[in-house]
Chain A
Amino acid sequence: MDLRDLYQDIIVDHNRSPRNFRRIDNATRMAQGYNPLCGDKLVIYITLKDGAISDVSFQGEGCAISTASASLMTEVLKGKTEAEAEALFDNMHRLLTEDAHGVDVDELGKLAALEGVRAYPTRVKCATLCWHTLQAALEEVDEPVTTE
C-alpha cells in the first residue's frame, strides 16, 4: 500500500486549510469530541433550519486524518437533512471499517478520499471522531464523545 493512498492530495489540502474552521455563535446544536489517548479534540457547531443543516463548522486540534475528515464532513453536510446526515455517517462508517463493497461511493463524493484509512486500523478512530461528534450534536448529547 502506498502512503499516498492514505495521504491523498485532498486530505493534505484540507489538513493545511481546513474548511468551515470557525465557531458558530448562535449554533442550535453543538457537541465535543475527545480522544484522550491521542489528544484529538474537536467541537462541532450546527445551525438547523427547517429540519436541514443550514450551517455547520468545527474547531479543534488533531492529526491530518482527523482534521481533514472533519473539514470534508462540514463541506458535504450543508443543506442535508438530519436523516440524510445519518445515512452519510452510516455509509462513511462502512467505508472505513468494512469491505468497500456495497458502499455508495458516489453518494459519499469527496468523502471517499478517506477510504485509504481502512488499511490503518489504528487510525480509523481519527477519521470517525467528527462523525460521532456530529451524531452527538444532532442527538443533543452533553457529554464529550470518544472513538477510542
Chain B
Amino acid sequence: MSAPHSATSANGVPTLDVARLREDFPILGQQINGRPLVYLDNAATSQKPVAVIDAIARYYREDNSNVHRGVHALSERATAAYEAARETVRGFLNAASSKEIIFTRGTTEAINLVAQAWGRSTLQPGDEVLITHMEHHSNIVPWQMVCEQTGATLRVAPINERGEVIMDEFERLLGERTKLVAVGHVSNALGTINPVARMIELAHAHEALALVDGAQATPHMVVDVQALGADFYALSGHKMFGPTGIGVLYGREALLDAMPPWQGGGDMIKAVSFEGTLYSDLPYKFEAGTPHIAGGVGLGAAVDYLAGVGREAIAAYEAELLAYTEARLQEVDGLRLIGTAENKAAVASFVLEGVHAHDLGTIVDHHGVAIRAGHHCAMPVMEFFGVAATSRASLAFYNTREEIDALVTALQDAQRIFG
C-alpha cells in the first residue's frame, strides 16, 4: 500500500479513510439495475481487494508449481510462498507455531477435521459435546455425525430473546462428561459476539477442550488464540477478503500431534509401503493431496491487507456503522430486529411486517442493494425466533452510512409495493 488507510483521531480512536479503501475493491465500483452496488452480504462472503486478486494472479503467472515436491526453481518458489502464507496466518492469530496452522477448504472442513480426527478417536458412549443454540449448521452437523458414530451425546446451550447464550445454563450443562465445547465466536445469523474467553475458561475448568468457529469474527476483530486459550480455532479465507476454497484450522500443537490423520494421500506421508505408512509431521499430517496453493497465497495477502488497514480501526469503524444501521432500521415501521445482543458485530438481521424476506431481497436488489434472505444456515435460530427466514444486512469496513440510507430507502419502497 502506498499510504496508510487509517489515522488516529484527536480522541485516540483510529479512523478509516473509507472512500480511499473502497478504491481497493474494484467490484464495488459497478452499477446494479442502474444504481450503485451496495454490497451488504459480507457475512456470506466478502469482496476482494486488488492486493489479493493480484497476489493470486501473480502466483499463477510467475510461481505456479506443486509444493513440497520438486527440486526445481518454481517448486521452491511455490513452496516458499505457501509456507510464507502459513507464517502470516500464524502471526494473524498469534499462534505459537506455524505447525499449528492447518490449511483447509474453509471453516466447515476445519470443524469436520476436528470432529473426525479428534472426535471419532476420542469420544466414547456417554461423552458429551456442548454447542449453543445459535450455531451455524457447520458447527452442528459435524458434531451430530460424530456423536452418531461414537455414541456420544450432543448438548445445546440455550439462548435468550436477545440472542445471547444464557451463561448460567451453559455452565450448568458443563460436567465431567463434557469432552468438547464448540461455539461460534460471532453468530452469522444474529451478530452476537459470544464471550468465548469465558466459555473456554469454563470448558477447561471441566477438563473439556474448546473449539471456536471464528468464520464471522476474523473479518471484524483482533483474534489472539493464545490469549483466548482456544484449543481449536477455525476460519474461512473468503469471509475475510481472501479467496474461497481456503481456510484454516488452528490447533494446539500437542493436541494435533496426538490426533490421528483425517484424510490420507500425498503430502501427508513420510514413507508408504503396503505394510504400512509413516505419517508426516505437523502441519502436513492434516494436508493430504495438493493443497489450494494460490488460495493460501491469496489468504496471506488478505491478512497483510487487513494488517495494513488496521484491525482496531476496522472494529471501531464497524461498531459505529452498526449502531447507525440499527438506528436507521428501527425508523422503518413494522421492522423487527432479530438479534439484539449487547455485544454485537457487523450483522443486522430483521423481519419486516407484511413483506417476506425473499420478496424483500428481490426488491432491494432492484435498488442495487445486496442483502441475504433466508435461514442463514442456522435453522434452529430461526425456529427460536419463530420466523421461517430473516433479511440480513451484514457489514464490512468498506460500507458507508450512505449505503445504509440506500437500504432503508429500498425497504420503504418494498413497503409501498406491499402497502
Interfacial residues, chain A to chain B (CB-CB below 8 A): 3-4, 6-7, 12, 15-16, 37-41, 61-65, 120, 123, 126
Contacts and interface: CB of A to CB of B under 8 A. Distances in A.
Contacts of A6: 362
Given A7-B363, A63-B358, A65-B358, 15 more contacts: A3-B362, A3-B363, A3-B366, A3-B413, A6-B362, A7-B417, A12-B418, A37-B374, A41-B388, A61-B388, A63-B357, A63-B359, A64-B359, A120-B362, A126-B358
21 contacts: A3-B363, A3-B413, A3-B417, A7-B359, A12-B417, A15-B418, A16-B354, A16-B418, A37-B374, A38-B374, A38-B389, A39-B374, A39-B375, A39-B388, A61-B388, A63-B359, A64-B355, A64-B418, A65-B359, A120-B362, A123-B362
A114 to B, nearest CB: 14
Interface in B349-394: 354-359, 362-363, 366, 373-375, 382, 388-389
Interface band, chain B: 10 to 19
Interface of B: 354-359, 362-363, 366, 373-375, 382, 388-389, 413, 417-418
Nearest to A4: B417
Given A3-B417, A39-B388, A61-B388, A123 B358 contact: yes
Interface centre among B357, B359, B375, B418 (most CB of A within 10 A): B359
Contacts of B358: 38, 63, 65, 123, 126
A55 to B, nearest CB: 27
A144 B355 CA distance: 26
A33 to B, nearest CB: 14
Nearest to A61: B388
A39 B381 CA distance: 13
B356 A62 contact: yes
Interface centre among B358, B363, B413, B418, by most A CB within 10 Å?
B358
A68 to B, nearest CB: 10
Nearest to A7: B417
B138 to A, nearest CB: 16
Closest 4 CB pairs of A and B: A39-B388, A63-B356, A63-B358, A64-B359
